[in-house]
Structure 1
């Protein structure tokens, strides 16, 4: 069966920043708080992986560019989507964060398995784990915001 999808231009969707500025500012604050104390490279890896899973080209474009600007290698950027098959590119701590990102992002499928949570908890103290989870929550919200409002990869504005 062949399915067609309709594409919608940006101009036909609401401007979330202008329409819901208090919510948008709250999300910016949540995002900033989630990042506190985390390694910037890990932040980008988590955001890239969630954006892959959510098919959010807008956020994927943004975060791969941000990762490059922060010094991330092209090899690692190309391997994030297949990190299980390319484990030697990522530390055990990064692998545990990527697995947790996948479980939380796809939570409706199988929940967050105890083994995935336990592995992440073995690499992060409680505070760091709370930060990682918060970051996963925020990138999933950003992905949903971008997809719902028709954000287009490569446009100049940053979020929302």
Structure 2
């Protein structure tokens, strides 16, 4: 049976610190690095990669941000929802997107201590050297952002698409 207040939202926790204010030069360098990874990559593919890495890293702040940016870039709600179960939902994605998502998981988790050959072999036909280098950079960047946001407990929800 429902209790009084069951439909009330809990108040968000407070962030532990402001990375941009505490280390502005480092933060600006991360922004420049992140920006440099984007140039040759499709914006929707890039957002899928960022969402998937953020899901794996349990970064609610970045999941919120990149889901909003993906929607603004034209991505469908259905494909975003299915991303957490992409292996069972491959038919929602192109072969190129699947290869990028699989690489994202391999780089983010590094279960074997390296990116397996079968993952590398699957991504190579879909990306030239420049694009692949930028994709690897983008995966590294979102993993760094995830670690900043998770460690400092950034609060999800207030981000507006395109404001970073």
Scaled by the length of structure 2, what TM-score is found? 0.87
5+ residue gaps in structure 1?
Answer: 1-7
Task: Spell out structure 1 runs of 4+ moving beyond 2 A.
Answer: 8-11, 155-159
Residue 130 of structure 2: aligned partner: 127
Structure 2 segments unaligned to the other structure (5+ residues) = 1-11
Q: CA RMSD in A?
A: 1.5
1:155 positional shift: 2.9
Q: Are the counterparts in 1 of residues 65 and 159 from structure 2 also a CA contact under 8 Å?
A: no
Q: How far apart are the structure 1 equivalents of 2:71 and 2:159?
A: 17
Alignment size in residue pairs: 150
1:10 partner SS: coil
**What is the alpha-carbon distance in structure 1 between the residues aligned to residue 87 and residue 64 of structure 2?**
22
For residues 40 and 156 of structure 1, the distance between their equivalents in structure 2, rounded to whole angstroms, comes to 18
Contact 1:10 1:149 in 2 (8 A): no
**Larger Rg belongs to:** 2
TM-score by length of 1: 0.89
Q: Which of 74, 78, 90 pairs up with 1:71?
A: 74
Alignment of 1:1-160 (within 5 A): 9-11=13-15, 13-107=16-110, 109-110=111-112, 111-156=114-159
**Cα drift, residue 124 of structure 1:** 0.3
More helix by share: 1
Aligned to 2:4: none
